[in-house]
Chains A and B, each alone.
Chain A
Amino acid sequence: MKLFDIKLVFSQIPTILSALPITIELTIIATLIGYLLGLVLALVKIHKTPVLRQIAVAYISIIRGTPILVQLYITYYGIPLMLKHHNLTYGTNYNINAIPAIVFAIIALGLNQSAFDAEVIRASIQSVDKGQVEAAKTLGMSGGQILRRVILPQAVVVALPSLGNSLISLIKGTSLAFTVAVVDLTAEGRILAGRNFRYFEVYCSLAIIYWVITVVLENMFKILENKFSIPDQPPVIAPEKVSGGVVK
């Protein structure tokens, strides 16, 4: 038996990739939860809504101050407890065992993301210059219209690099989902290794897979950034159209 089977590192990648859809599902849903809840938290903090603001501040502080692994276990054990409590108090009949494991992982990762994204989104919203908001107000636009049409499109450009980073760390965070019995890429690899005892080779395969995914994502974010930002060069002015600048 070879000490290190480099061919196996590559040849078992397709087998491991059978769990790719789970990792992608986990990532996409948790990211969406993170962005949406992050936006809500950011708005609450910016508008200084009483009570809600304090809750948001405490929430962000707790989530950022605890390891993601601990958060996964808290959701994994906590949600069934809450449902049991609900069943006992209100006589409901939720079947706790029917909840797929991935739900716990999605909730934990989504909540975790939201705390980090909230700060990024808040900073980028506040970076949009207030004069434009005032101009939009004087046009008669409503708060929601101003948020959607003036603030967010510009905040997104500012936030994209950081949101990209947070997505990349989330992808890697999904590799902890196996601890709550989700069969993601990492779990699939461990199962494989449990059969052929090639642990080192499996983790090398996993490293390659995660790295490729990350590089692809980084490039996607670069393309998005280019798409959303204002071009460096102005369009060419057709010579016959130049009116000399000053009003006649």
Chain B
Amino acid sequence: MSYIEIRGLCKKFGDNVILDHVDLDIEKGEVVAIIGPSGTGKSTLLRCLNLLETPEGGTIKVDGREYDLTTKDGKVKRNLRRESSMVFQQFNLIKHKNSLQNVEEGLRVVKRLGKDEARKKALAELENVGMADRLYHFPKHLSGGQQQRVAIARALAMEPNLLLMDEPTSALDPELVGEVLLTIRKAAKAGNTTLLVTHEMNFVKSVANKIIFLENGKVVACGTPKEIFGYPSNERLKEFLAKIHMLEGAEYNI
């Protein structure tokens, strides 16, 4: 039995099947990366796991606790959402709260920590992502990279059992990508079970334990970075890697 087990996840938008009975296992502390062409359902997969989208079918088991992903029960939904934290492409910090308040929000309101305890935890998390010098800055006073680091601190402060990240560096200027990738690497090394969607293939190669290749709503290939980039067996995967110049076989190199 795996730490996280996703079974039979199905999602349609209208008549378009976006996710077609996706199964996925993640072990505790593992970093799993999802790669695949644009529009293939990577974001949708992540958003179904915290019910930002409502799937037509599927279950998720977290550390033995099973949830029906189609549930309409508000309380079950909130409990499921508390199992995971999400880092968004557009950061999505609360605009009228400063860095410290953004991190404290979930601790106070959802985890119901006391004032001092929440403050201590938030300070520690912000220190960890290198934002201790901008505690009282509002999001609009921070660069994209800084906002994303605050967002990562906010996500980690909730001590999630699963950390979801959807292209966390895609909205950033190139010179800011590095600082955020470093922060993510640190979180991964600290043992956070992570499901990550990204186009940063070199980063995936060095950080992920497992890579999922998603295409047309199906898991087409799954393996270690070595298996995926070194010896891709699947034709579709080979094509995709060739397109993004990540195939290592000589015949495909330009």
Neighbour of A243 across the interface among B74, B79, B130, CB < 8 A: B130
A247 touches B92 (CB 8 A): no
Q: Within the assembled complex, what's the spacing in Å between the Cα atoms of A145 and B136?
A: 23
Which A residue sits closest to B140, measured CB to CB? Answer: A230
A91 within 8 A of B: no
Question: Which A residues touch B85, using CB under 8 A?
Answer: 138-139
B82 within 8 A of A: yes
Which B residue sits closest to A241, measured CB to CB? Answer: B133
Contact with A along B75-91 (1 / 0, CB 8 A): 00011011011101011
B130 touches A149 (CB 8 A): no
A140 touches B86 (CB 8 A): no
Neighbour of A132 across the interface among B51, B79, B95, CB < 8 A: B95
B236 within 8 A of A: no
B243 within 8 A of A: no
Q: Within the assembled complex, what's the spacing in Å between the Cα atoms of A86 and B164?
A: 60
Instruction: Please list 22 pairs of residues, one from A and one from B, whose beta carbons are closer than 8 Å in the complex, sorted by A's number.
Output: A132-B92, A132-B93, A134-B52, A135-B151, A137-B52, A138-B86, A139-B85, A139-B105, A139-B154, A139-B158, A141-B78, A142-B74, A153-B96, A157-B96, A230-B95, A243-B130, A243-B132, A245-B146, A245-B179, A246-B179, A247-B130, A247-B149
B106 touches A141 (CB 8 A): yes
B93 touches A135 (CB 8 A): yes
B86 touches A235 (CB 8 A): no
Question: Which A residues touch B133, using CB under 8 A?
Answer: 237-238, 241-243
Q: Within the assembled complex, what's the spacing in Å between the Cα atoms of A149 and B94?
A: 10
Q: Within the assembled complex, what's the spacing in Å between the Cα atoms of A143 and B85?
A: 18
A14 within 8 A of B: no
B17 within 8 A of A: no
Question: Which B residues touch A247, using CB under 8 A?
Answer: 128-130, 149, 179, 182-183, 186
Neighbour of B81 across the interface among A138, A241, A242, CB < 8 A: A138
B88 touches A235 (CB 8 A): no
A234 and B179 in contact, given A140-B78, A243-B130, A247-B186 (Cβ under 8 angstroms): no
Q: Within the assembled complex, what's the spacing in Å between the Cα atoms of A145 and B93?
A: 16
Neighbour of A134 across the interface among B84, B92, B105, B106, CB < 8 A: B92
Which A residue sits closest to B178, measured CB to CB? Answer: A246
Question: Which A residues touch B110, using CB under 8 A?
Answer: 139-141
B3 within 8 A of A: no
